[in-house]
Amino acid sequence: MLANLVCSLIKHRRVTTTLAKAKAARSVAEKMVTLGKTGTVSNRRLVVARLHQDEAAKILFKEIAPAFKERNGGYTRIIRMNQRQGDAAQRAILEWVDAPVVAEAPAETTGAKAETK
């Protein structure tokens, strides 16, 4: 489950999940970026063995890891969201640090206001 979540993070740059899953996937994603920064054959094999998706590993080594070459850690961020309606689970967004922060817009009201004269 965590490997699939990290693959989705690599492919889509941002995933929305529960807070517990985001915290668990964060450590896996950061370890994969650390392996991706060197780019050796051994590290490529370790990443593919852990993620089970060649396409995600290629994206990791070609796009994501080079962007974090100068950074020593802390490649992801977790943004807390509201609770899920069905089971009240705390939701969160897991994304890469270099992605711009998108604040959730408050719900707009659709009702028209009556003008008084």
What is the structure's pLDDT at 98? 85
Q: Establish if 104 belongs to a structural domain.
A: no
Residues 100-109: contacts with CB under 8 Å, at least 24 apart = 101/77
Selected residue with higher pLDDT from 113 and 40: 40
Which CATH number does the domain housing residue 78 bear?
Answer: 3.90.1030.10
Cα gap 91→87, rounded to integer Å: 11
In the predicted model, is pLDDT for residue 105 greater than 50? no
Please check whether residue 79 lies inside any domain of the structure.
Answer: yes
Mean pLDDT, to the nearest integer, of 13-39? Answer: 96
pLDDT band at 51 (very low <50, low <70, confident <90, very high): very high
Q: Does residue 22 form part of some domain?
A: yes
Question: What is the model's pLDDT at position 102?
Answer: 59
Give the model's pLDDT for residue 108.
47
Q: Is residue 112 part of a domain?
A: no
> Does 109 reside within a domain?
no
| Domain assignment of residue 111, yes or no | no
User: Would you say residue 117 lies in a domain?
Assistant: no
Q: Is the dihedral of CA 10, 65, 22, 105 positive or negative?
A: negative
The answer on pLDDT for 14 being more than 60 is yes
Instruction: Identify whether the C-beta of residue 10 lies closer than 8 Å to the C-beta of residue 64.
Output: yes
Query: 66 lies in a domain?
Result: yes
Total tally of structural domains belonging to the chain: 1
Q: Give the domain range for residue 26.
A: 2-96
Give percent of the chain above pLDDT 70. 84
